[in-house]
Amino acid sequence: MLYSDKVMEHFGNPRNVGVIEDADGIGEVGNPICGDVMKITISVADDRIDDIKFQTLGCGAAIATSSIVTEMAKGMTLDEAVAITKNQVAEELGGLPPAKMHCSVLATDGLKVAVDDYLVKHGREPIAGPVKSADPNFDPHEDEDDHAH
């Protein structure tokens, strides 16, 4: 399985690793099938993500997608952040092998859960809607020919 140079760069030198203490929003997602687990914490000011950190237990693609999502989302409005798609994440990384696209789903889902967590904590309506990886029946490999992780 070949990874782009940018995937390898973000895997080897991930950005925004850690946890924001007293985070405004927390998004924890996981995939019991492949074992990837992501936690994204955000700090929000004026409905913009002013800081974002992640912790990921998973493969190189899971770490790289978490890293790039935090870079993409920093400074965005909450609406802009929840609109980030798995395909945008993959494009930003110079592509992902089909068997690793589920990692970009987990990363965007983690961000969406964090944003909605922030909104609900502040008495507001969630905007991201349901996330696939929160469904216990979610199979990240359902659209793939290669089931290897």
The model's pLDDT over 46-99, given as tens digits with 9 standing for 90+, comes to: 999 999 999 999 999 999 999 999 999 999 999 999 999 999 999 999 999 988
pLDDT of residue 149: 38
The pair of structure tokens assigned to 133 is: 């990886």
Q: Are 141 and 133 in contact (CB under 8 A)?
A: no
Q: What is the structure's pLDDT at 52?
A: 98
In single-letter form, the type of residue at position 40 comes to I
* Catalytic option among 82, 103, 119, 131: 103
Residue 134 pLDDT greater than 90, yes or no: no
pTM above threshold 0.75: yes
Of residues 34, 38, 84, 93, which has the active-site annotation? 34
Spatial separation of the C-alpha atoms in residues 76 and 81, rounded to whole Å: 6
Active-site residue flag, 34: yes
pLDDT score of 34 more than 80: no
Residue 137 lies in a domain: no
Query: Is beta strand 48-57 parallel, antiparallel or unpaired with respect to 25-30?
Result: unpaired
The domain that holds 119 is classified in CATH as 3.90.1010.10
The two three-digit tokens of residue 63, written as one number: 């770490």
Question: How many structural domains are present in the chain?
Answer: 1
Query: Where is average pLDDT lowest: 9-23, 43-57, 134-148?
Result: 134-148
Are 63 and 79 a contacting pair, CB within 8 Å?
Answer: no
Reply yes or no on whether 59 is catalytic. no
Domain of 125 in residue numbering reads as 5-129
